[in-house]
């Protein structure tokens, strides 16, 4: 028997009543605790606990205003009388209980009514002539509205879960059949079933495929084919019966792992098509060239593996939905018990028990099919996707809480100290040797500084990402779920700060060591080994990033590499939120991408690194790639938008593509003006950049951030906000506009005294990275609150099989 971990409502009420009010005040208020535990997508569907509490506060203030002051002297019952037997405690409580029921009958009456085919509950206050009855009527009217809202929402969601369970049931039947056919391809014939064949097995259940499932057995379908009557092996391909070797005859007439296997002719089966979204360049091109209506089920081990992977993900996400719905029910039941306890205390009545009895008997309080469905989902997943290993299956199903590692904190502090020491040493070295004031300083800034500035771009972006992670965590933005990180493997802000500080230590140490190198007075060249330090550091980072050993957060490194590859291969992959989010980050790293070309030119092309000289800017090949590399990130976002426009038929993706196309034109004209310094290019650069900046700024604030909504509850912002201080949103909008116009430096070509041109270009790039970090927080906040990217309400997985009788694809947006 499965034990229900959620206690009944009456028990919850009795336990909460026994708590002392002083202890409650010392803990977190339930209203705040409820806000932290509720799911953001269902925030409006929860009981409005704070509103009900505010009504009770009004009632309390009224009662305090009309209540006479307490007497100055009050005689207390002596200790002797309390234990003298004159006052029988048992008799007192017995009479109190009887009077409680009498008070319940006299105070409220809860009616069950039907309105527009929906069940609703109405509470009638019988003692309407008492003082403060108006406040109590308002309270119970609002309480009924909140309860009916929660009850209806819970019922709707339960029906959705049951419908999805039936769909998963049908998918599992087809998957098991597919396993049998793939592992035993010959049923009395010499040919493997091809795409035109139908399945030859029928799996049914006394309840459903997610019925009572035992935890024993193996999901690998080693089968024999027997005749239903004689038990001998049959060679009739038109009517077969399949069961595992290890099960005996008795299992054929009983529930077998939740499934009853029936004898069904092949011609009764309808055709099944596989519905796997193309996830490789080859499959995408093939699906684009071929007629999508001719996608048949390929009965191969590769197709079986893909379908198993999709169904496994679908079961994990379905299990998560059931857990969320179960917690939704428990949290709201607790909220009703808490608010009724407060009502009893303030109104000095005893009506909570009668109202909570009604709650217990309602759909919300009595229907516990979600808990039983959770059991069946877990048993089915363990049986068919974890090889009957319960520990392994539950690890995959349950959310793993990430543990804090104190080694990370210690290492972070150590590297932070090293960064401060190296910065101090670098400033002393520059001041003592007067590097910036001599000819060698200008040569260094022209040739060596761009090599190290790339590490600065990466480090600043990592610091901004760490800050985003910290504030997302503070405001409870569910970024691991939105980005699709593997459970327990996502990096926190401490880990990202550790990586950024480690890279900073390596970069500063490289800069300090490079500044100590002296030129040979006779040959006027530098040692080749010392001049290769920046290149060595760059190669070391690449090797560390692609290292297959399980060191330095391997899962996160490989996740980043896969995402980068999908961005480079756009639009050959289906666009996910991580893909376009990462590509947006790359649009702010254009200067770093161009530095990669400078590395190649300086060390292997037109550069003479021994004498710290280069002629890269005079090379036509270098100039051509300088244009191309500056456009690549924007082109990637452009084709990603076109891919989403083709798949989703969303006109907003077309407008977004036009926005990036305008940015491409602006980047090309600004780059041309930077290289040629002609008046015509300057005019074109100014005009195109102004148009692109206005469009991009509007898109940032209105579309990506969801702000500047004139008729919202928070004027010129949006209805739902995470940050309580509205001035922060207005400040972020103003700062975004200012930083968007940082391109004016490249067009107007203004100079700042005592700042080298290369340093000024780097400063503009740093400002763009800061703007991107600011954009990241509000973009993900809007995604968390409003799902603007349409990537999730809860993460759904497209199901692998499509049936002809359905008429539409059996899938959801992921």
746-791 residue pLDDT tens: 777 777 777 888 888 899 999 999 999 999 999 999 988 887 555 4
Lowest mean pLDDT among 296-300, 327-331, 356-360, 568-572: 296-300
**Residue 761's closest CA among 525, 445, 303?**
445
Q: Give the residue, 238 or 436, on which the prediction is more confident.
A: 436
- Residue 269 CA to residue 175 CA, distance in Å, equals 15
Domain that holds residue 167: 154-397
- Domain boundary among the residues 347, 367, 397 is at 397
91 domain-assigned: no
> What is the token pair recorded at 754?
């005592």
Q: Is the pLDDT of residue 445 over 80?
A: yes
- Residue 245, pLDDT score: 38
Omega before 571 within 30 of 0, i.e. cis: yes
Q: Are residues 615 and 686 in the same domain?
A: yes
Indicate the Cα dihedral angle 504, 505, 509, 511, nearest 10°: 10
607 domain-assigned: yes
**C-alpha separations of 741 from 503, 513, 687, 757 in Å:** 30, 37, 13, 18
Q: Are residues 328 and 447 in the same domain?
A: no
Q: Are residues 425 and 392 in the same domain?
A: no
- Domain boundary among the residues 397, 429, 459 is at 397
**C-alpha separations of 651 from 169, 245, 641, 707, 792 in Å:** 36, 56, 10, 20, 19
Average pLDDT over every residue of 74-83: 46
Q: Are residues 212 and 348 in the same domain?
A: yes
Q: Are residues 554 and 643 in the same domain?
A: yes
Average pLDDT over every residue of 49-70: 81
- Residue 799, pLDDT score: 66
Decide if 598 contacts 535 (C-beta within 8 A). no
Lowest mean pLDDT among 77-81, 448-452, 757-761: 77-81
Lowest mean pLDDT among 38-47, 310-319, 464-473: 38-47
- Residue 189, pLDDT score: 43
Structure confidence by residue, pLDDT tens digits, 590-646 = 999 999 999 988 888 666 777 778 888 788 888 899 999 999 999 999 999 999 999
Q: Are residues 331 and 393 in the same domain?
A: yes
Lowest mean pLDDT among 432-446, 647-661, 667-681: 432-446
688 domain-assigned: yes
Mean pLDDT of the chain: 76
Q: Are residues 642 and 523 in the same domain?
A: yes
Q: Is 790 left (phi over 0), alpha (psi -120 to 50) or beta?
A: left
- Domain boundary among the residues 339, 367, 397 is at 397
- Residue 38, pLDDT score: 78
> What is the token pair recorded at 761?
């270009």
Q: Are residues 738 and 696 in the same domain?
A: yes
806 domain-assigned: no
- Residue 719 CA to residue 721 CA, distance in Å, equals 7
- Residue 643, pLDDT score: 93
Q: Are residues 380 and 506 in the same domain?
A: no
Average pLDDT over every residue of 24-43: 69
Q: Is the pLDDT of residue 532 over 60?
A: yes
Q: Are residues 427 and 383 in the same domain?
A: no
35 domain-assigned: no
Sign of CA dihedral 367, 368, 374, 379: negative
Top mean-pLDDT range of 13-17, 83-87, 431-435, 685-689: 685-689
- Residue 276, pLDDT score: 59
85 domain-assigned: no
- Residue 734, pLDDT score: 95
Q: Are residues 411 and 276 in the same domain?
A: no
Residue 244 backbone dihedrals phi, psi, to 5 degrees: -70, 155
- Residue 241, pLDDT score: 38
Top mean-pLDDT range of 500-509, 672-681, 717-726: 500-509
106 domain-assigned: no
- Residue 554, pLDDT score: 92
Structure confidence by residue, pLDDT tens digits, 102-161 = 444 467 777 777 766 667 888 877 766 566 678 888 888 898 899 999 999 999 999 989
Q: Is the pLDDT of residue 699 over 90?
A: yes
Cα atoms in the Cβ-side hemisphere of radius 13 Å centred on 169:
22
Q: Is 749 left (phi over 0), alpha (psi -120 to 50) or beta?
A: left
Q: Are residues 368 and 494 in the same domain?
A: no
Domains identified in the chain, total number: 2
589 domain-assigned: yes
């Amino acid at each position: 028997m499965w034990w229900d971990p959620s206690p009944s409502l009456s028990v919850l009420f009795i336990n909460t009543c026994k708590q002392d009010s002083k202890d409650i005040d010392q803990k977190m208020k339930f209203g705040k605790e409820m806000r932290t535990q509720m799911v953001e997508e269902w925030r409006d569907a929860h009981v409005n606990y704070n509103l009900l509490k505010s009504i009770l506060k009004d009632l309390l203030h009224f009662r305090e205003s009309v209540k006479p002051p307490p007497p100055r002297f009050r005689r207390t019952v002596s200790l002797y009388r309390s234990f003298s037997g004159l006052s029988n405690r048992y008799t007192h409580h017995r009479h109190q209980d009887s009077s409680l029921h009498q008070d319940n009958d006299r105070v409220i009456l809860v009616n069950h009514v039907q309105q527009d085919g929906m069940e609703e509950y109405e509470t009638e206050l019988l003692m309407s002539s008492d003082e403060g009855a108006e406040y109590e009527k308002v309270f119970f009217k609002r309480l009924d509205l909140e309860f009916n809202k929660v009850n209806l929402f819970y019922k709707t969601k339960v029906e959705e879960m049951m419908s999805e369970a039936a769909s998963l049931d049908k998918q599992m039947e087809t998957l098991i059949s597919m396993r049998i056919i793939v592992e035993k391809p010959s049923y009395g014939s010499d040919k493997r079933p091809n795409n035109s064949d139908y399945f030859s097995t029928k799996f049914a259940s006394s309840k459903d495929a997610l019925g009572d499932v035992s935890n024993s057995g193996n999901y690998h379908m080693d089968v024999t084919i027997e005749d239903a009557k004689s038990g001998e092996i049959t060679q009739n391909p038109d009517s077969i019966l399949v069961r595992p070797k290890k099960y005996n005859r008795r299992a054929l007439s009983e529930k077998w792992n939740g499934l009853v296997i029936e004898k069904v002719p092949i011609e009764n089966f309808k055709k099944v098509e596989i519905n796997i979204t193309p996830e490789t360049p080859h499959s995408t091109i093939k699906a684009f060239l071929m007629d999508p209506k001719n996608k048949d089920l390929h009965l191969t081990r590769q197709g079986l593996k893909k379908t198993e992977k999709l169904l496994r993900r679908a079961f994990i996400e379905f299990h998560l939905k059931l857990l969320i719905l179960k917690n939704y029910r428990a949290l709201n039941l607790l909220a009703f018990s808490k608010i009724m306890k407060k009502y009893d205390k303030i109104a000095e009545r005893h009506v909570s028990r009668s109202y909570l009895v009604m709650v217990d008997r309602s759909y919300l309080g009595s229907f516990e099919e979600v808990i039983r469905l959770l059991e069946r989902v877990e048993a089915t997943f363990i049986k068919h996707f974890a090889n009957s290993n319960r520990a392994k299956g539950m690890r995959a199903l349950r959310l793993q809480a990430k543990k804090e590692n104190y080694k990370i904190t210690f290492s972070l502090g150590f590297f932070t100290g090293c960064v401060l020491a190296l910065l101090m040493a670098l400033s002393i070295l520059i001041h003592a040797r007067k590097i910036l004031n001599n000819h060698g300083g200008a040569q260094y800034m022209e040739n060596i500084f761009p090599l190290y500035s790339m590490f600065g771009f990466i480090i600043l972006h990592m610091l901004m990402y760490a800050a985003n992670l910290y504030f997302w965590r503070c405001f409870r933005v569910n970024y691991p779920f939105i980005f699709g990180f593997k459970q327990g493997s996502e990096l926190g802000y401490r880990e990202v700060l550790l990586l950024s500080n480690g890279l900073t230590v390596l970069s500063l140490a490289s800069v300090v060591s490079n500044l100590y190198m002296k030129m040979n007075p006779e040959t006027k060249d530098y040692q080749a080994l010392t001049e290769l330090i920046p290149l060595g550091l760059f190669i070391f980072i690449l090797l560390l990033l692609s290292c297959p050993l399980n060191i330095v957060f391997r899962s996160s490194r490989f996740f980043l590499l896969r995402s980068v590859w999908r961005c480079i291969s756009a639009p050959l992959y289906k666009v996910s939120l991580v893909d376009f989010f990462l590509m947006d980050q790359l649009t702010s790293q254009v200067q770093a991408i161009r530095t990669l070309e400078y590395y190649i030119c300086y060390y292997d092309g037109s550069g003479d690194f021994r004498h710290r000289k280069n002629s890269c800017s005079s090379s036509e090949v270098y100039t051509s790639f300088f244009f191309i590399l500056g456009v690549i990130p924007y082109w990637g976002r452009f084709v990603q938008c076109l891919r989403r426009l083709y798949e989703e038929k969303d006109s907003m993706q077309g407008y977004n593509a036009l926005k990036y196309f305008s940015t491409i034109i602006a980047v090309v004209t600004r780059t041309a003006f930077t290289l040629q310094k002609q008046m015509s290019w300057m005019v074109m650069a100014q005009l195109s950049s102004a148009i692109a900046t206005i469009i991009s700024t509007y898109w940032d604030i209105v579309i990506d951030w969801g702000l500047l909504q004139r008729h919202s509850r928070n004027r010129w912002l949006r209805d739902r906000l995470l940050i309580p201080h509205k001035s922060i949103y207005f400040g972020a909008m103003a700062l975004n506009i200012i930083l968007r116009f940082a391109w004016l430096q490249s067009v107007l070509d203004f100079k700042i005294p005592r700042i080298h041109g290369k340093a000024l270009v780097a400063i503009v790039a740093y400002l763009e990275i800061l703007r991107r970090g600011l954009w990241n927080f509000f973009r993900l906040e809007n995604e968390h609150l409003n799902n603007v990217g349409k990537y999730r309400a809860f993460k759904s997985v497209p199901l692998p099989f499509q049936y002809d009788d359905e008429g539409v694809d059996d899938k959801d947006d992921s």
